[in-house]
């Protein structure tokens, strides 16, 4: 049933009420027509098998834009609150009884009951609540302290673009092959490339982060001047940053198939390796992805088939340690972590030395 105020849709056998279905979430752009709340809900229902493969039984932070992605709408961040859009880590009040949760623990020691999707109706409900992007943890509800996923985030810095990230991804693919790992690439929904590797859930967040550091350092050695693992932006230069801290506890990446908060409603698109050099990220949108999904299915359908050992990467990390390259800085909001080096921005450190 549809009225001016609401409509209902079938979400995996559940009747889902969508309020204000014609509310414009993404205004029309040069490349795309306007996208409504109902369009977002229907998009997620159309890629149900894919988005559920990315989210199933994972604690998931909701990136909510209830007023839409319009000029002047501000997204609240860890450093600056008060925006109209926000990240929701605790299950919203009034959630349907079929919405399950998992209790996650932050580095501060605080906890939160976060949604843990088990069926597509949960995704549809979150979308009707203004969620456009889903940020799952790399763990499942049966073991919240041992990640089952290594995430390699290739993040273009100013002066670089998607083509540069693709070039680095090709070398990452070669390294994965040498490690006998199977990697699954996707667009970030922007200029970056994400690569996921399923791992056996028997290592800690710290171990997985160390594995990501080792992987990034090896890419630096293979592509000098093109890749960096430097945490401080002023040190990165025009390179592709391997963001190892995306593997730290409480850090998440937008899931495969998630809509991103950019004009035209782009989505994070799962790919096979041979597609990576051919695609244009902006071509994957709420409007175009359902047809691709219907034709090709989920490009990450085999992602859960094999889980790998982290030992080869952890051995590389230990080797680097013996050569004087130890741990690297955590994000600024983290408590001081064991083995972490001094967490001072280089320019501020120089100023401090000049003015004791």
- Kindly report, residue by residue over 280-331, the tens digit of the pLDDT: 999 999 999 999 999 999 999 999 999 999 999 999 999 999 999 999 999 9
CATH no. for 149-251+306-328: 3.30.70.3300
Mean pLDDT of the chain: 94
Alpha-carbon distance of 201 to 195, in angstroms, equals 18
> Residue 238: phi, psi to the nearest 5?
-90, 75
Task: Please work out, in degrees rounded to the nearest 5, the angle formed at the alpha carbon of residue 276 by the alpha carbons of 275 and 281.
Answer: 105
Within 133-204, residue ranges assigned H as helices are 162-179
Q: Rounded to 5 degrees, what are φ and ψ at 126?
A: -65, -40
Q: What is the reported pTM?
A: 0.95
* Helices (H) then strands (E): counts for the chain: 8, 14
Q: How confident is the model at residue 188 (pLDDT cuts 50, 70, 90)?
A: very high
Assign a CATH topology to domain 6-136. DNA primase, PRIM domain (3.90.920)
**What are the residue boundaries of the structural domains of the chain, listed by start?**
6-136, 149-251+306-328
How many CB atoms lie under 10 A from the CB of residue 237?
15
Q: Which residue has the higher pLDDT, 350 or 138?
A: 138
pLDDT in tens, 191-202: 999 999 999 999
Q: Using the predicted structure, report yes or no on whether residue 354 has a pLDDT greater than 90.
A: no
Q: What per-residue string of b and e applies to 239-277 under the rule 16 or more CB within 10 Å gives b?
A: bbbbbbbbbbbbbbbbbbbbbbbebbbbbbbbbeeeebe
Could you count the other beta carbons within 10 Å of the beta carbon of residue 351? 10
Q: Which residues are registered as beta bridge partners of 184? A: 196
41-88: per-residue pLDDT in tens?
999 999 999 999 999 999 999 999 999 999 999 999 877 777 899 999
* CA gap 187, 56 in Å, rounded: 20
Q: For residue 146, what are the β-bridge partners?
A: none
């Amino acid at each position: 049933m549809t009225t001016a105020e609401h409509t209902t849709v079938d979400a995996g056998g559940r009747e889902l009420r969508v309020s204000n279905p014609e509310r414009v979430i993404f205004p029309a752009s040069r490349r795309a027509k306007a996208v409504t709340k109902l369009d977002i809900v229907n998009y997620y229902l159309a890629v149900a098998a894919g988005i559920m493969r990315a989210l199933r039984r994972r604690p998931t932070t909701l990136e909510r834009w209830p007023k839409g992605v319009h000029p002047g709408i501000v997204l609240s961040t860890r450093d600056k609150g008060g925006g109209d859009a926000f990240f929701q880590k605790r299950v919203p009040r009034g959630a349907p009884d079929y919405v399950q949760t998992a209790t996650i623990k932050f580095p501060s020691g605080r906890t939160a009951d976060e949604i843990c999707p088990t069926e597509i109706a949960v995704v549809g409900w979150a979308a009707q609540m203004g969620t456009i992007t889903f940020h799952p943890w790399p763990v499942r509800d049966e073991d919240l302290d041992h990640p089952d996923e290594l995430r390699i985030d290739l993040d273009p810095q100013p002066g670089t673009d998607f083509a540069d990230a693709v070039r680095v991804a090709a070398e990452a693919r070669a390294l994965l092959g040498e490690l006998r790992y199977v990697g699954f690439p996707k667009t970030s929904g922007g200029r970056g490339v994400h690569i996921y590797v399923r791992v056996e859930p028997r290592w800690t967040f710290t171990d997985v982060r160390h594995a990501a550091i080792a992987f990034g350092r090896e890419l630096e050695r293979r592509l000098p001047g093109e890749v960096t693992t430097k945490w401080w932006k002023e040190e990165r230069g025009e390179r592709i940053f391997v963001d190892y801290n995306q593997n730290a506890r409480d850090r998440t990446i937008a899931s495969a198939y998630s809509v991103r908060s950019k004009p035209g409603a782009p989505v994070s698109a799962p790919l096979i390796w041979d597609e990576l050099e051919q695609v244009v990220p902006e071509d994957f949108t709420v409007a175009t992805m359902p047809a691709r999904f219907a034709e090709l299915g989920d490009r990450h359908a085999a992602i859960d088939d094999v889980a790998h050992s982290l030992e080869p990467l952890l051995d590389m990390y230990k080797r680097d340690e013996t050569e004087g390259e130890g741990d690297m800085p955590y994000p600024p909001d983290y408590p001081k972590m064991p083995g972490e080096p001094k967490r001072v921005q280089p320019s501020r450190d120089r100023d401090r030395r000049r003015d004791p």
